[in-house]
Structure formats: C-alpha cells, structure tokens
Structure 1
Amino acid sequence: MAEYIPLELPDNPRLAQNIIHFARALRRAGLPVGPGRVIDAIRAVEAAGFTNRMDFYWTLHACFVNKPEHRIVFAQIFRLYWRDPRYLEHMMSLMLPAVRGVQENKAAQSAEKRAAQALLGDEMPDIPEQEEEQEDGTQIEVDASFTISTEEKLKTLDFEQMSLDEIAQAKKMLSRLTLPVKPIESRRSQASSMGKRTDYRRTIRDALRKGGEIRSIAHAKPRLRWPNLVVLCDISGSMSQYSRMVLHFLHAVANEKGQGWAKVHAFTFGTRLTNITRHLATRDVDASLKAAGAEAQDWQGGTRIGQCLHDFNHHWTRRVMGQGAVVLLITDGLDRDDPAALEKEMERLHLSSKRLIWLNPLLRWDGFAPKATGIRTMLPHVDSFRAGHSIQSLEQLAEAISRPDDAGEKARLMALL
C-alpha cells in the first residue's frame, strides 16, 4: 500500500487559499480544473517560488491550461485576480447595470466579461428597482410591452462581449438559423410541357416514331442544380471567439436538410490549412467542434492568410469549387505576409468561385477604414464585404446570399482606398 505523503503548503497559507479560489473561478469560466490540478498548482508554485510575476503566471498556466481556446479566459482571470489592484470595482462595472447614470460606458475586452462573471458569480448583489412616484404619491406604472426583449438585445451583442450564459443562449439561437440558397439553372435541360425552350432532338425522335410527320413540338426547361458552400474560417488569436460561434452556425447549416446546398465544405486556417468538413457531419455540435479543434493544431496562433489560400487553391479548388460554389471567407484580414502573393491567391480564389463573401468582425466599428495592408489587398477581389460579429450579422448574411447584387460595405470602403 502506498505511503500517504501529506501536502506541504507554501510558507504563506493565504497564497494556497488564493490559488484555490483562482482555480474555482477558472472552473466556473469553463476550464476543466479539478482537485488534482489545484494540488499540482500549489506544489508547482512552492517549487518555482512567488518572486517573479511572469514565472508565477506561466507556472499556473502550465497547470490549468491544456487547450488553446482557454488561453484568453485564463489570461483575463489572472490579470483581474492577481495583477489589477482594483479588479473588484472593474468587474462590478462590467456586471452591474448603470446606476444613477454614473457608470462608465466602456466595452469589456476579449473574454473580460466572462472572467468577471466567473470571479463574482452568484455573489453579485441585487440592485433594488426604484419605483417612480408622482407628486401626489401615486406610483407610475410603466408599460414595458414595447421594450426590447433579451433575445433581441442578444442578437446585436458582440460575440467577444458575451458572458457565459449569453454564449450558451447565442449557441441555441445559432442552431436555429438557416442559410437557404436558390438553385442555379444549368445548361442541361429536362422535359417539360410548360418549358420555354424547344427540344429539337425529342421533337425529331417523336416524329420518326410516327412516320416522319411532326405532329407536336416538344419543350424543355433548364435543369436545376445546387451549389456547394465552401467556408474558410480564420482561427488565429484575434479571431478565436468569432470563429467558434461561426462554426456553431455552420454546423447547423451542414446538418439541416432542405436548405439547397449540395454540400458544405469547411476549412480552418491560421498558420496552416485544415479540412474539418468530416467533423461537421457529426450530429452532436460539441463533439463536432471538439474534434475539429483537436485536428486544427494552430488554433489561436498566428496568421498566414496568403500561404493558407495558396494551399487551398493548389490542393482543394478542383475538388470542392465545382457547381458554382459560394465561398465564405471569415477573417479580419490582418496579415503580414507578402501582399503581392496574397493578392495573387485572392484573385485566383475569386475567379474559381461563383460568389466570394468576406465576413470581417472589424466592420462592427463605425470608424472602420481599410488601412491595414492585408485588408487593402483583399478587398478588391471579393463580391461582398459584410460584418460577422453578432447573431444579427449572420441573419443578414442569409438575406445577402439570396441577392446576387448585394455587395455589403464594399462600395463604401473601396471609395476610401
């Protein structure tokens, strides 16, 4: 039987307690942190010491983080819990509604709202609602029937600013969205008594069966075919949360029958291109995205848009771009590779697709301008340029796909080049 070895805590027992509370916050934020990892973290801090902030950060990071998508949440909770002396006041401002018009109108940073919710949790105090009264003492009844519902507010909320509960609700809403597409008339025809096209071959064949006399004219109509949907999704660090929500949406599109798409092909790219099409076929969305994340090893890494598009054009264009495919390019366009190579690959991608739609979350800013070199290089080679940061923007995408003349914000931004 193994001998029981008691756990030796660091010299300061409060440090061990703080690590335990920190681990609880990580667990509430969605990280798989169990008692074993907490003990390992305390022992690791005891061995590494608490003299250097960066050593302390990476010691806890090595104990608690094992997936790329957990890095942002860990970093925000660590900053708020260990490094910011006024983190409590800051988190309160993120979680509580404005009181007496004093609250600062400041948007939370990436994953900061989820970090605040994980740290404060159910300990948030309830704010009593003030009842307005008239001068005579009678209460004023406010009709809230026309106020915006929670679901409507959630549609316009940025994916990066959502809390854990809001993300869960958003995923349910995304699972109900559809992306229908109209069929394409091909050059091939099929017999139809109401068709406007004359079927000369069928007319002659019918006449030969009846002694060579033409008694009726056969008609035909164009045969309908459905295009493929090809999605190229950026999973670099700046696009991590947006990509995750968009992939939830694409999973619903790929598994919903009757929307018109012949097939949905999905690729992720950061520093390399990864085909995740087969994972979207899994009915369970969580299992699907988990498998896709395991295969895409460059999740939340750097960005090499030009090289990844070159790999797609060279290896996958002939396989997935037939039948008038519609391409969704989801990226912020922040690329530092050679602009000439990027422009060449964008031009080839544009020529290979029937329609190329670019979804960019940076377009959510009112003052957005195509100043980055990657954006200036890519913009002329897309058919439509649209925002992709909220549920509402994805709903508008469904309307844009059914309108071939929709260019989104491309014309306005091209005038700024």
Structure 2
Amino acid sequence: MPEFLPLEIPDAPKLTHNIIWFARALRKAGLPIGPGRVIDAVRAVEVAGFSSKADFYWTLHACFVSRPEHRTVFAQVFRLYWRDPRFLEHMMSMMLPAVRGVQEERAGQAAEKRAAEALLDGADQALPEGGDQEEQGTSIDIDASMTMSNEEKLRTLDFEQMSTDEIAQAKRMLARLKLPVQPIVSRRTRHDPSGAGIDWQATMRQSMRQGGDLSGFVRKSRRLRWPNLVVICDISGSMSQYSRMVLHFLHAVANQKGAGWAKVYGFTFGTRLTNISRHLATKDVDAALAAAGAEAQDWEGGTRIGDCLHSFNRDWSRRVMGQGAVVLLITDGLDRGSPEDLAKAMQRLNMSSRRLIWLNPLLRWEGFAAKAQGIRAMLPYVDRFQAGHSIASIEALAEALARPDEVGEKSRLLQDIQ
C-alpha cells in the first residue's frame, strides 16, 4: 500500500477530466481500461466522496485494477499523477535513462519508468487543466529512450526499470534467444557400423550363423540422450517482473525445434507451487502466459521457498527430473520460513538434478553480499550462481551450460560467508 500524502489536484480542476487523463495513463502503462471503467470510476468517486486520499486511492483501484500484476503500475501512476499539481516537471525527471552504472539520487521504484512514460505520452497535446505552457514546451526536448542504441541498452537494462515499449522489444529479443544443450553420453549402446567399440555378443551371434566363421566385427557406439529442462520460478512481489520475462524466454525455449531438450517443465511458486508446463506448449505466447497467470493464483504474494521446494521434491521430482535434468531456479532467496528446512529442500533438489543453476536479480547490485539467511542456506547447494535481471544475464545461461565448471559468483559469496 503506498504512502499517502495530503491530497492535491491540478489547479482549477475538473475532477472528471483528471480521472479520464489518469485512466489514459493507466491504459498506456498496460492496464486494460475501456470507457466503461472510466464511467464507473467517476460514478464511484462521486458516491465515495473526496475527503480522504486513501479512500480515493482504493476507489480508483477497485475500478481500474483487475489483475495482481497491475497493482504496482497503478500505485506508481497514482503516486506520480496525484502527488503534485505540477506533475509534468516531475515526470521529466523520471525519464532519465536507468542504465546500469548510472547512479541516481534515489533508486528507481518498480514500474516507475512505465508510469512516467504513460503520463508523458501525448502531454504536449492534451495536458489536464492546470498544466502551464512552460511545462508543455519542455516535454519535446527530452527523449530518454533514444539516447543510445536500443538493442545495446536493452541487453543490460534491468527488467524492472524498462518502459512499456522497451518491455515489448525485450520480449521480441528474448524470443530469438536459444538455449542449446549438449547431449549426455549414455552407458547404453546401439549398433553403429562406424562406431569405436566392438559388440562381442553380436559378433559371436553373427559368427554362429555362419558356421563359426568370423567374417568381421560388429561395431557399436554409445547412445546419446537429451536432458530435461526444469524451471522453478519465484512469482512473489519482489520477483514479479523478472519472472514474467524469464517465463517469456522459457516459452520460446519450449517451442524451439532442435534445441536439444527432451522436455521443458515450468513451475511457479510464491506461497504455493504451481505446475504451468502444459501452458508452455501453447504456440501463442500471450495465451500461454495468460493461462499460466490465471492458474498461479499467488502472483505478487509472499514467499515460502522452503515449503514450495519441499512440495516439488515430494510431488514432482521423480516425474520430471529423469534423464539428468538441468534445473534453473529463479528467486531472490528472501524466504520467510526456516533456514534449516530450506537447506534440506535445496540439498535434495541438488542431488536429484544434473546441474542446479540459480538466477538471482539481486546480483545486479555491485557489492552484493549474502546476508539474508535464505540465501546463505541455499548457496552451498547450487552449481552456479549468477544474475538474472537483464537480457544479457539470460544470454549468459548458454555459456553456463557449455562450461559446467564455472560457478559464477558462488565462490566469492561463499568466502564472504565463511
């Protein structure tokens, strides 16, 4: 719930016009808002009154927010629009590039850039009443989204700080990425005329059919098998945007031909574990993620990593972890449960998998240290620990799979713990 300040509305207000402008900003930021909802919002505000900002916030929230993932965007747009009568000047400061390595006066909040972009869209044509000409003229001088190569910028830009258009472009880039995997050499063999080994049993059977004459050797080679890919994704409030982008990439991997994976399984967790594997087979990515989101009812809720991993080990491990499965665990490691139980669940998960790779978006911060008890409990049982906050970090997965000896940031953090 946002921090409420004394309510201020743009100068010489017409409340209906400002609610309409606010609804337009929400729609630009990605919320499905039509004229019917705007009319309902105006009528609801008339009924609820206008004496308390908290009442006003929750009245508009009830009219405009229908999905858990929209709460953060709504909160940011509301805070930025209704906070200051001269809101446009404030919006301009929010449009500064949020590129890694650039230090700002304060850390950008979730969905803030999308909220700022939504409020600025069309501002030079249709400012709400109270916006002056000086603000109107300033808006055409700033274009933070085009200050550098879009593709290079997006590769390293934090998912949480992307605008709506940048998210759409990032999704297209993720859809083009591949995650190939090397096959596993099995102990079983197959008939192969050019194989390096000799099949002595088959050679003797062939000799017996020819009266004991040995006319040649029957050759064989090792069979190749392909591992499963299992992705366990945290969808709690702190991980929501990162999880959506990773799931978008996972859908592309699941539908790639010839990538090498035997099967791709997806699980989400917050307060409970949900299997979304069947939705990943849907060719339409939007339909797939919408169905997955509808089934996972705990988007942006709390986090119980230990309990959910225990449920996975008990109910799903034997079904999906065959063929030397590779496990991608996407979470920030901030758990509410017992560190001892979390460590036991991680140990079993590690023993069941061929490789366990942990993607943690908190590694985007320079000087990150494993101070949380959940991170300390999980870290010893992963094979690789790396960032998972940008397209570049997702691309690094291919390198991680090709170089099994690389452990990422695990060694450094384990030394800090000890």
Q: Structure 2-normalised TM-score?
A: 0.88
Specify the alignment match of 1:157 in structure 2.
157
**1:166 positional shift:** 0.6
Cα-to-partner distance string for 1:292-322 (whole Å, 9 max, x where unaligned)? 1011110111111111111111110111000
**1:195 positional shift:** 2.3
Answer whether contact 1:270 1:303 (CA < 8 A) is retained: yes
Distance 2:58 2:300 in 1: 17
Identify if the C-alpha distance between structure 1 residues 84 and 269 changes in structure 2 by more than 3 Å, giving closer, same or farther: farther
Matches within 5 A, 1:219-238: 219-238=219-238
Greater alpha carbon shift after TM alignment, 208-217 vs 289-298: 208-217
Identify if the C-alpha distance between structure 1 residues 178 and 96 changes in structure 2 by more than 3 Å, giving closer, same or farther: same
Corresponding residue to 2:141 among 123, 127, 134: 127
Matches within 5 A, 1:280-291: 280-291=280-291
Cα-to-partner distance string for 1:336-356 (whole Å, 9 max, x where unaligned)? 101111111111100000000
**1:21 positional shift:** 1.2
Give the CA RMSD over aligned residues: 2.0
Specify the alignment match of 2:200 in structure 1.
200
Distance 2:194 2:97 in 1: 62
Identify if the C-alpha distance between structure 1 residues 85 and 231 changes in structure 2 by more than 3 Å, giving closer, same or farther: same
Greater alpha carbon shift after TM alignment, 302-311 vs 117-126: 117-126
Identify if the C-alpha distance between structure 1 residues 122 and 107 changes in structure 2 by more than 3 Å, giving closer, same or farther: farther
Distance 1:97 1:65 in 2: 28
**1:55 positional shift:** 1.5
Identify if the C-alpha distance between structure 1 residues 112 and 97 changes in structure 2 by more than 3 Å, giving closer, same or farther: closer
Is the partner of 2:154 in helix, strand or coil?
A: helix
Distance 1:412 1:168 in 2: 35
Identify if the C-alpha distance between structure 1 residues 120 and 290 changes in structure 2 by more than 3 Å, giving closer, same or farther: same
**1:396 positional shift:** 0.8
**1:187 positional shift:** 0.8
Identify if the C-alpha distance between structure 1 residues 269 and 104 changes in structure 2 by more than 3 Å, giving closer, same or farther: closer
Specify the alignment match of 2:333 in structure 1.
333
Specify the alignment match of 2:81 in structure 1.
81
Greater alpha carbon shift after TM alignment, 374-383 vs 31-40: 31-40
Answer whether contact 1:93 1:104 (CA < 8 A) is retained: no
Specify the alignment match of 2:3 in structure 1.
none
Greater alpha carbon shift after TM alignment, 114-123 vs 191-200: 191-200
Answer whether contact 2:92 2:142 (CA < 8 A) is retained: no
**1:17 positional shift:** 2.0
Cα-to-partner distance string for 1:14-38 (whole Å, 9 max, x where unaligned)? 2222211111111111111111111
Distance 1:355 1:341 in 2: 21
Q: Which amino acid aligns with 2:114?
A: R
Matched, 1:260 2:260: yes
Distance 2:243 2:193 in 1: 48
Matched, 1:109 2:109: yes
Identify if the C-alpha distance between structure 1 residues 206 and 57 changes in structure 2 by more than 3 Å, giving closer, same or farther: same
Answer whether contact 1:303 1:335 (CA < 8 A) is retained: yes
Q: Which amino acid aligns with 2:217?
A: I
Distance 1:158 1:40 in 2: 36
**1:123 positional shift:** 3.0
**1:96 positional shift:** 4.9
Distance 2:301 2:123 in 1: 35
**1:122 positional shift:** 3.3
Identify if the C-alpha distance between structure 1 residues 97 and 171 changes in structure 2 by more than 3 Å, giving closer, same or farther: closer
Matches within 5 A, 1:245-256: 245-256=245-256
**1:153 positional shift:** 1.4
Specify the alignment match of 1:402 in structure 2.
402
Q: Which amino acid aligns with 1:175?
A: A
Distance 1:38 1:186 in 2: 62
Answer whether contact 1:238 1:300 (CA < 8 A) is retained: yes
Distance 2:87 2:374 in 1: 36
Specify the alignment match of 2:371 in structure 1.
371
Report the number of matched residues: 385
Structure 1: tracts of 5 or more residues without a match: 1-11, 130-146
Greater alpha carbon shift after TM alignment, 315-324 vs 185-194: 185-194
Cα-to-partner distance string for 1:44-66 (whole Å, 9 max, x where unaligned)? 11222222222211111111000
Specify the alignment match of 1:139 in structure 2.
none
Distance 1:128 1:302 in 2: 38
Q: Which amino acid aligns with 1:405?
A: D
Q: Which amino acid aligns with 2:285?
A: V
Identify if the C-alpha distance between structure 1 residues 148 and 114 changes in structure 2 by more than 3 Å, giving closer, same or farther: closer
Is the partner of 2:366 in helix, strand or coil?
A: coil
Answer whether contact 2:185 2:223 (CA < 8 A) is retained: yes
Specify the alignment match of 2:47 in structure 1.
47
**1:399 positional shift:** 1.4
**1:39 positional shift:** 1.5
Distance 2:215 2:65 in 1: 79
Identify if the C-alpha distance between structure 1 residues 90 and 13 changes in structure 2 by more than 3 Å, giving closer, same or farther: closer
Matched, 1:179 2:179: yes
Q: Structure 1-normalised TM-score?
A: 0.88
Specify the alignment match of 1:70 in structure 2.
70
Answer whether contact 1:107 1:161 (CA < 8 A) is retained: no
Distance 2:117 2:352 in 1: 46
Q: Which amino acid aligns with 1:39?
A: I
Is the partner of 1:223 in helix, strand or coil?
A: strand
**1:357 positional shift:** 0.4
Structure 2: tracts of 5 or more residues without a match: 1-11, 125-138
Specify the alignment match of 2:304 in structure 1.
304
